[in-house]
Amino acid sequence: MSVAAGIDPDTWNRWHVVARLDEMPADGIRRTRLLGHDITVALAPDGTVEVTRGPGEILPVTFAYGFAWASLGTPSAPLFAIPEYHEADRRNLNGGTFRVKTSAPRAIENFLDMAHFPFVHTGVLGAEPHTEVKDYDVAIAADGTEVTATRCLFYQPLAAASSTGGADVAYRYRVPHPYCAILYKDSPAHPGRMDVITIFIQPAEEEEVIASLFLSLLDDETPDEDIRRFQQHIFAEDKPILENQLPRRLPLAPRAETPIRADKSSIAYRRWLRQQGTSFGVIR
Amino acid sequence: MTPARYFPVAAERDLPYRHVFHARLFDQELAIWRADDDQINIWDNRCRHRGVRLSIGQNMGRDLRCQYHGWRYASGDGACTTVPAHPAGPVPEALCARRFPVARAGGLIWTSLDDRAPLPDLAGGALVLRALPIMAESSRVMDAIAAWPGAARLDPFTLQVDGDLRLMAQPAGPGQMVLHALHLGPAGDAMALRRAVNHRLEDLRRQIEGDR
């Protein structure tokens, strides 16, 4: 493990998403920011990737889900697993990349939140009067590696690009990384199985992030562009909310904001960040 | 510490039917809105739940609805009345929007960050000319105006020019202010008056912002 002034060791030594490999610039060079540091992602013609900080410090790099991940420190564990990604009958798709003026934890909380569906994604992911968030379960894994929310149920007029009407949709969430979250939701096409929608957030600065959506769907019918348009439409509704949320960094003090029962997942997520010692993108 | 006095933060005409107006005073963001019964509310511009600006919410006539989760805060006491995620459940006890005092005088809406401030006095009526945001500290703008011939300084935030033009500073935040211009007494040709003051203030802004 190595450390840097001002950034907690957990964040410093983690893998962070730094590039979507199918969206690299034509010259193969992506200059970007990670945790407030200048980094360069270089994709060579032979497919190898090198990530450097500043003038030439080579950073550890790994690949998963079509993305390059790097660390400013020394990762002590491999990146979290998404087993569904490898299932043969799934379509793994790019759901769009968005720059947002907020902190990574604010964006993760928004991704975990169901209560906003009728007001922000009106007519698609929710609709009045179906505003109730029914009780669900949250847990922090015994080994402390992730937060989960299970047994979530919410009425949705148009749950996915392939939906034909409204339905009570079952959700399950995993937060296996402070800046990444995975949503499992009922697949309209395959009853009993779940589509996977993930958000990987590159913490460029404390209050500016690059959020990438990545989908692993059970849907052989809907064209790629329709699925992508659906996800972009949803995110375009979240972005102005996120950019009007103050403070931009997530306050971790239990009484800094006003949580209610529906916010159980947010309460657990904030507690987990406190336990991890996360300092980047939060107010401790 | 902010001065114990009221500052203009909006004009009556900035609050049309079911609008929410955004203002800032000493870096405090404000959501200002008029209920259908003409009650004016000046609130901290954050929903108590998750910090979303109330100025992007909806003025529902009797209450203000947050855009994020539909929480509603009542005009007047600011009490949270509705949490849609729990339609049957109780609203968090004693939860209110954070309110600031409201004063209405001379066609302007005034507030203070200090409850002990004396109310503004503009008896005799006034014509609201315009409000001009300037990227500079209030003190710099007021010093520049004080150097005009015919200008008299009434206090650090108020100037009187040529007897009937009153200019008031709203210190918005670091390096940003809003200058409110009023004409006191009978206006005569209001259009010509607006045009003349407008030119004068635009020149002032260009001069001050150009000097940066």
Q: Specify burial of residue A31 (Cβ count, 10 A radius: 0-12, 13-18, 19+).
A: exposed
Which pLDDT tens digit goes with each residue over B126-172? 899 999 999 999 999 999 999 999 999 999 999 999 989 999 999 99
User: Model's pTM, two decimal places?
Assistant: 0.94
With the CA atoms of B133, B135, B139 and B144 taken in that order, what torsion angle do they form, in degrees rounded to the nearest 10? -80
Q: What is the C-alpha to C-alpha distance for residues B174 and B6, in angstroms, rounded to an integer?
A: 19
pLDDT in tens, A88-110: 999 999 999 999 999 999 999 99
Share of chain B above pLDDT 90, in %: 85
pLDDT score at A98: 97
pLDDT at A2 over 80: no
Nearest-CB residue to A132 (from B29, B50, B87): B87
Indicate if the pLDDT at residue A81 is higher than 80: yes
Query: Domain coordinates of chain A in residue numbers?
Result: 9-70, 83-283
* Partners of residue A119 in chain B, C-beta under 8 Å: 67-70, 84
pLDDT value of residue B187: 77
What pLDDT was estimated at residue B136?
A: 97
**Chains A, B: CB pairs < 8 Å:** 70
Architecture label for domain A9-70: Single Sheet (2.20)
Q: Give how far A122 is from chain B: nearest CA, Å.
A: 11
Which residue is listed with tokens 């610039």? A25
Residue bearing tokens 């539909």:
B70
Kindly determine whether residue B86 and residue A132, on different chains, have CB atoms separated by under 8 Å.
Answer: yes
Which residue on chain B is closest to A116 by alpha carbon?
A: B69
CB contact set of B107 (below 8 Å; sequence gap of 6+)? B11, B12, B13, B126, B127, B128, B182
Whether A258 and B49 lie within 8 Å, measured CB to CB: yes
Query: Residue B212 — very low, low, confident or very high, per pLDDT cuts 50/70/90?
Result: low
Helix (H, G, I), strand (E, B) or coil at A1: coil
> A67-70 and A61-64: which strand pairing?
antiparallel
Contact list, A133 vs chain B (CB under 8 Å): 85-86
E-state strands within chain A: 16-20, 29-34, 37-43, 49-53, 57-58, 61-64, 67-70, 91-100, 137-140, 147-156, 167-177, 180-186, 194-205, 208-217, 250-251, 282-283
- Supply the pLDDT for residue A166: 87
Tens-place pLDDT, residues B186-207: 878 899 999 999 999 999 999 9
B95 touching chain A per CB within 8 A: yes
CATH of segment(s) A83-283: 3.90.380.10
Question: A280 and A11 in contact (C-beta within 8 Å)?
Answer: yes
Residue among A128, A240, A260 minimizing CB distance to B56: A240
| Minimal CA separation from A248 to chain B, in Å | 9
Which residues in chain B are contacts of A103 at CB distance < 8 A? none
- Assigned architecture for domain B7-105: 3-layer Sandwich (2.102)
**Identical fold, A9-70 and A83-283:** no
Query: Is the sign of the CA dihedral A76, A80, A83, A86 positive or negative?
Result: negative
